[in-house]
Amino acid sequence: MINFRNATNADFNLAFQIKKTSIKPCIEKIWGWDDGVQPEFHIKDFKPRKLAF
């Protein structure tokens, strides 16, 4: 059984690691992956919010 919960700020690092593992190869092919810039994008884009499941 899979249980869902809303993301919190505590999930920031895990979410970034999942992002790196899952989409880094695609981003590298399209734009290039810059380890100095990607964390800044993640900080800007990671907005945990309350969702209804």
Digit-coded pLDDT (tens) for 1-51:
998 888 899 999 999 999 999 999 999 999 999 999 999 999 999 988 766
**Model's pTM, two decimal places?**
0.77
Q: Which amino acid is at 10?
A: A
At residue 22, the pLDDT reads 96
Residue with tokens 């380890």: 35
Closest listed residue to residue 14, CA positions, set 50, 52, 46: 46
CA 7 to chain centre: 11
Residue 53, pLDDT > 60, answer no
At residue 25, the pLDDT reads 94
At residue 4, the pLDDT reads 84
| The three-state (H, E, C) secondary structure of the chain, written as one string | CCCCCCCCHHHHHHHHHHHHHHHHHHHHHHCCCCCCCHHHHHHHHCCCCCCCC
